Chains A and B, each alone.
Chain A
Amino acid sequence: MAKRTNQPTTGAEPAGRDLSSENPQELQQYYAQMLLLRRFEERTSEMYTKAKIGGYCHLNLGEEATIVGLMAALTPADYIFTNYREHGYIIARGVAPGPVMAELFGKETGVSRGRGGSMHLFDATAHFMGGYAIVGGQLPLATGAAYALKYQGKPGVVVCQMGDATTNIGAWHESLNLAALWDLPVIFLVVNNGYGMGTTVDEGAAEPDLYKRGCAFRMHGERVDGTDVLAMRDATRRLRERAEQEKKPAILEAVSFRFRGHSVIDSDRYRDPEAVKQGRNANDPLPHFAHQLVLAGVVDDAWLKATASRIDQEVQEAIDFAEHSPNPKIEDLFDYMYATPVPNTPGRAEAAIIAQNAQGGR
């Protein structure tokens, strides 16, 4: 099969952009948040190398503008479902980096009490409905959540984030059909980072213009430069308004570039290292946005420096918090299996025996 390469471009917005209608504090905040996600992921990768974090771990590097732009447009009433590449989403949603890092460390103070790890972050109070490690797992759930919002006449919309390659699984087609059929307030956010593991978008999707894949369901779709925080925010705002007011679902395809391998342990050998380097430079949302802000006089070098060191500090504190947090207790092994005690299922007494025998480990 011949390889088509029609991956849409990013970084289209000129550096000398007119930002006069924007609130400067908000712009600064966007930048600071993007930098926070960047540093968080870089340090996460470092912690993985130091074996503080184990298992499967996927980074949001290159997707900072998509995430911050998205969250800037959402309200506290909205709900968010994501895939397993979600550290940035939960932080940008307002959950402190400490408990997120603690979860990656598998600690009791983590957002999922050490049970979930990197791929299964969760925070009900933030309406962050979880990272899902089964591709497509979140799609029908998000659709159901939108059904519940409509049913109950509640404000807010549901955002269902996923990767480009997730648009190839059956759950995508079923969910889109249902959302369109019943006019549900849900936005299907497709983060197009060019790859599903080692497979390019056009190797997996017969319609590689992913925002068009709603056609079969007469669902509106649009594409946005996912490395442009303001474009992302504005597109989300529009589609959010439409979903909430008119109960119209939509697809939002945000294009960006995956900086590294699929996960921290993916050697990425199926991509040309030179092309990856070039792609990273051309599609890095941070320097581009910083440059715009400097040109517009919103920030200066001193501010950028001070912000960088404040954020380094914040991420360091998150790591320290994770490091010094306790492990989950073995006595809690069977907790959360059922709402109420269920006879003849293992519970705290059985867990206590396992803990007492202390034969964990290899």
Chain B
Amino acid sequence: MPQLNLIEAVRSAMADAMAEDARVFVLGEDVGLKGGVFLATDGLLARFGPDRVVDMPIAEAGIVGMAIGASLHGLRPVAEIQFADYIHPAIDQILNEAARLRYRSNGDWHCPIVVRAPFGAGVHGALYHSQSTEALFTSTPGLKVVVPSTPYDAKGLLIAAIRDPDPVIVFEHKQLYRGVRGDVPEGTYTVPLGQAAVRRAGAQISLFTYGLMAHYSLEAAKVVADEGIDVEVIDLRTLYPLDQATILGSVRKTGKALIVHEDKLTGGVGGEISALIAEHAFEALDAPVRRLASPDVHAVAFSDVLEAHFMLNPQKIATAVRELAAY
């Protein structure tokens, strides 16, 4: 099986989906000749031509709005927003239009778009090239929100998103693009939306996470395992809808929950998971639910030192795990 990094997996997903289904096309800034800033669409223009690999001017509202309109008329657009930080000009189109079209038309219309955007810090990107913006979207019903952490999932989730009849936002962590490698089958396959993956089974603490933090959490789990702390690491993969059965099942088993995300603490997905656990698994808890997230400052200061202290890392996660284990 080919070993791909995450960006190659994303590219392979789009290529295979386009080869299989003539309705699928990609659009975004510099996705054609340049192949995208991160090269997600490298080679697609040569293979599929300019009608299916559409270079757009800098006009995010236009990119997503065009995708919505095209999807209403039978196409399957995959829009690339160059960085998650640039999604804001398109938020109106996503939240006010894409998310509501099915509901407002009593199911007559549907909006099968995919919006892909690289997110995350740790690349010295400073305030506008480092953000985690997923919580802006998980709080609007009608959307699905996906964050892959492995190349296999990146391809399978993206193809599932493309085939999904509703709008799906896919956030891909910049550091994972070339930071992880793994088996990726050729041809199309799907990883179902809405299903978390148990990356490491454990008995003492349930750790819920996603994206780059899934990798850091696994590292931390390994470190504390040597100290006798057995952590179950669950990669959420889909942030909306959450896989409640897996989340609650794990907490009922371990009695302790730690949620780790790179997004800021306040208003992040962690709050939602904490509430779920408090509402449905309170009696199983042996300790308060704990969240570990980025500080509530704008992601992220440019200086190396400030960025390093803003970012979570395996050591910080291991510390949080130890504290919770000791409770």
Question: Contact residues of A with B, CB < 8 Å?
Answer: 1, 54-56, 103, 106-108, 112, 114-120, 133-136, 165-166, 168-171, 196-199, 203-205, 269-270, 327-328, 330, 333-334, 337, 345-346, 350, 354-355, 357, 359-362
Given A117-B126, A197-B30, A337-B297, CB of A1 within 8 Å of CB of B50: yes
Q: Report chain A residues within 8 Å CB of B128.
A: 119-120, 133-134
Contact B306 A114 (CB under 8 A): yes
Please report the C-alpha to C-alpha distance between residue A362 and residue B314 in the assembled complex, in whole angstroms.
8
Contact B129 A328 (CB under 8 A): no
What residue in chain A is nearest B312 (Cβ atoms)? A359
Which of B123, B127, B295, B302 has a CB less than 8 Å from the CB of A106? B302
Smallest CB separation, A146 vs chain B (Å): 22
Please report the C-alpha to C-alpha distance between residue A354 and residue B319 in the assembled complex, in whole angstroms.
12
B43 interface contact, C-beta 8 A: no
Main secondary structure on chain A at its contact with chain B?
A: loop
Smallest CB separation, A335 vs chain B (Å): 9
Which of A103, A333, A334, A359 has a CB less than 8 Å from the CB of B315? A359
Q: Report chain B residues within 8 Å CB of A168.
A: 57-59
B73 interface contact, C-beta 8 A: no
Contact digits for B44-61, partner A, Cβ 8 Å, 1 yes 0 no: 000000100001011111
Given A134-B86, A134-B88, CB of A55 within 8 Å of CB of B305: no
What residue in chain A is nearest B308 (Cβ atoms)? A360
Which of A330, A346, A357 has a CB less than 8 Å from the CB of B306? A330
Between B122, B303, B316, the greatest number of chain A beta carbons within 10 A of the residue's beta carbon is seen for B303
Smallest CB separation, B307 vs chain A (Å): 8
Contact A169 B29 (CB under 8 A): no
Contact B33 A198 (CB under 8 A): yes
Please report the C-alpha to C-alpha distance between residue A117 and residue B124 in the assembled complex, in whole angstroms.
9
Smallest CB separation, A270 vs chain B (Å): 5
B304 interface contact, C-beta 8 A: yes
Contact B310 A333 (CB under 8 A): yes
Which of A115, A119, A136, A362 has a CB less than 8 Å from the CB of B301? A115
Smallest CB separation, A68 vs chain B (Å): 27
B296 interface contact, C-beta 8 A: yes
Given A115-B303, A199-B29, A360-B309, CB of A135 within 8 Å of CB of B86: yes
Which of B59, B85, B306 has a CB less than 8 Å from the CB of A328? B306
Contact B303 A106 (CB under 8 A): yes
Contact B88 A115 (CB under 8 A): no
